[in-house]
Chain A
Amino acid sequence: RKEVEQDPGPFNVPEGATVAFNCTYSNSASQSFFWYRQDCRKEPKLLMSVYSSGNEDGRFTAQLNRASQYISLLIRDSKLSDSATYLCVVKVGAAGNKLTFGGGTRVLVKP
């Protein structure tokens, strides 16, 4: 079983619509959680950290469910520029700052 699993998609989303997807992690000792965005042939870029109480950054909302060991990302009012692969990233506290990446969920926003 992979440490961090994601639905690879693609999620085809009409412009202006809402899309949400999850990520599950297997290590219950995981302490920090992030969503990164990666465009084709580019490096990943931090989108947002995920906090226990859930957090929002503009049109993006992240949730953490420790009991079920998953995190989610919701994108409201999707823009064409939101088309990218979204990587779920987990850090296990005891391992310093080593990050474990999920396989990514591809989102395609279409006009």
Chain B
Amino acid sequence: GAVVSQHPSWVICKSGTSVKIECRSLDFQATTMFWYRQFPKQSLMLMATSNEGSKATYEQGVEKDKFLINHASLTLSTLTVTSAHPEDSSFYICSASPDTYEQYFGPGTRLTVT
């Protein structure tokens, strides 16, 4: 149980285009989903926290207009990287939480912007 999927697992896009990443909780309802970013040889940095049906809460320094988060249902959250640039190339990982304690991580999406 407690499986979280992400799609796509990797994506290459051209600079200036937008990319959407999906995060799904497959066998539980996630009241909260988290989006992280991890650059090479660095740790996970929380980008934003989203609760179903409400606006996401962004961490300091994360541009909400660039990283659009939608948490439309209890099993799906999406992250859209708008007008992507090479510096946005990173490993994006989501996690989903059914309560205030456990977090289950998705397998990650590797984004490369050329």
A→B interface (CB under 8 Å) = 8, 32, 41-45, 87, 96-104
A43-B108 Cα distance, complex, nearest whole Å: 6
Residues of B within 8 A of A104 (CB): 43
Cβ B46 vs Cβ A99 within 8 A: yes
B32-50 interface with A by 8 A CB criterion: 32, 34, 41-46, 49
Q: Kindly state whether residue B67 has any CB partner on chain A within 8 Å.
A: no
In the complex, A70 Cα to B78 Cα: how many Å? 35
Cα A87 to Cα B105 in complex, Å, equals: 14
Given A43-B106, A43-B107: A98 and B43 interface contact (C-beta under 8 Å): no
What CA separation (Å) do A103 and B107 show in the bound complex?
A: 19
Q: Dominant SS at the B interface?
A: loop
Interface size class of B (residues with CB under 8 A): 20 to 34
Looking at A8, A87, A98, A103, the one whose CB has the most chain B CB atoms below 10 A away is A98
Contacts of A99 in B (CB 8 A): 34, 46, 103
B-chain residues with CB within 8 Å of residue A100 when the two chains form the complex: 46
Q: Given A97-B32, A98-B49, A44–B100 Cβ distance below 8 Å?
A: no
- Give me 5 other A-B pairs in contact (C-beta within 8 A), A32-B101, A103-B42, A103-B43 excluded: A43-B105, A43-B107, A97-B97, A97-B99, A100-B46
